[in-house]
Amino acid sequence: MSRAGRILPLELSKAPARRRGSWQSVSVRSVLEPSRRSRISGARQLGERDLPRVLKVLDTDPIAGCMVAARLQECGLENRGGGELWTRGDPEDSLCFSGANLVPLRGSTEDMQAFADRAARWPRVCSSVVGRQELTLPLWEVLEQRWGQPREIRADQPLLALDGRAQVEPDRSVRRVRTDELDRYLVAAVAMFTEEIGVDPRAGDGGRGYRRRVASLIESGRAWARFEDGEVVYKAEVGAISQRTGQIQGVWVHPQWRGRGLGTAGTAAVADAVVAAGRTASLYVNSYNEVARRAYARVGFHQVATFATILVD
């Protein structure tokens, strides 16, 4: 939620990344020592036959695993465009998703070393590393030696959940966005992304890919907004929907409408829709975004874990 509310080789010099939040460095020196590394078996890719076991594993952590579970439940493991799942032994013990995001799901420090080895073997495809803090930061500590300085580290992101109805009155003007409203909604989506992530999502391909992504969210009924005089003043998406969880993303309030409670009431409306569909509503927020955290607390969200995100693009 913006205020109210997405390789370089090591030898290239780059300005230090901005670090928001703080974290206790998890030393991986021991697993980098040659004598130890020689005993680490590599990570392997899982296949479609492993899908039932993987889904069972993800079901034990349905909120933190929502993004990956949603993709697997929709695409399975044979869809090459949907990413890969890796393990170092059994998925019950070590698991990592590699796609547009690199998402460690479980494992030891040695497992993170093996995942980093595999991720660094080919040209990087992910734009971020994201997941539970206790897995993501150790994984990144190894990867940073291969990929170089990130653009930004967001080390402390409370992962929040809401199982019941919102504790505040929802904004009844917040509704699903219609397909004919794509252009107007896209203006707000670009503003949110640029403010939150720090880059223009239209860069690179003139915005075609981002437009397709937003259009897909609208077509699937997962984009929500309040319009005033044809302009979006509040927006959010249910960016990932698994069988048990709906993860709310991209929460944004128009700058001229901030301070009026739209972020709280609008998010309550979206969360109520997720819960009414039989799922837990979830989202994660930067720890330094006090305005957003207070708004979510008023809605009734409570913290269930802590995420970390490393933005590498």
| 188 and 110 in a common domain | no
The answer to whether residue 168 is domain-embedded is no
| 180 and 72 in a common domain | no
Tell me the two tokens of residue 75.
Answer: 């695409």
Q: Any alpha helices (H) in 176-225, and if so which ranges?
A: 182-197, 208-219
| 230 and 132 in a common domain | no
Tell me the two tokens of residue 251.
Answer: 């929460």
**Residue given tokens 């837990």 in the structure block:** 280
Q: What is the CATH number of the domain that holds 122?
A: 3.40.630
Residue 144: predicted pLDDT: 96
**Residue given tokens 């078996």 in the structure block:** 41
The answer to whether residue 66 is domain-embedded is yes
Report residue 151 CA to chain centroid gap.
16
| 82 and 124 in a common domain | yes
pLDDT by residue for the chain (313 residues), tens only, comes to 444 443 223 233 333 444 444 444 443 333 333 333 334 479 999 999 999 999 999 999 999 999 999 999 998 987 666 799 999 999 999 999 999 999 999 999 999 999 999 999 999 999 999 999 999 999 999 999 999 999 999 999 999 999 999 999 999 999 999 999 999 999 999 999 999 998 999 998 999 999 999 999 999 999 999 999 999 999 999 999 999 999 999 999 999 999 999 999 999 999 999 999 999 999 999 999 999 999 999 999 999 999 999 999 7
Name which of 170, 174, 175 is nearest 265 in CA terms.
170
In whole angstroms, give the CA distance from residue 80 to residue 82.
5
The answer to whether residue 274 is domain-embedded is yes
| 121 and 211 in a common domain | no
Residue 80: predicted pLDDT: 64
128 neighbors 311 (Cβ within 8 angstroms): yes
The answer to whether residue 189 is domain-embedded is yes
| 124 and 194 in a common domain | no
Boundaries of domain holding 144? 18-158
Q: What's the number of domains the chain is made of?
A: 2
Whole-model pTM: value is 0.86
In whole angstroms, give the CA distance from residue 203 to residue 267.
29
Residue 313: predicted pLDDT: 77
The answer to whether residue 236 is domain-embedded is yes
The answer to whether residue 41 is domain-embedded is yes
Q: Which residues lie across from 247 on neighbouring strands?
A: 240, 282
- Positive or negative torsion for Cα 136, 68, 8, 250: negative
Letter for the amino acid at 206? Answer: G
| 275 and 188 in a common domain | yes
Q: Which residues lie across from 310 on neighbouring strands?
A: 129, 153
| 181 and 72 in a common domain | no
The answer to whether residue 11 is domain-embedded is no
3-state secondary structure of 53: helix
| 92 and 35 in a common domain | yes
| 206 and 118 in a common domain | no
In whole angstroms, give the CA distance from residue 179 to residue 185.
10
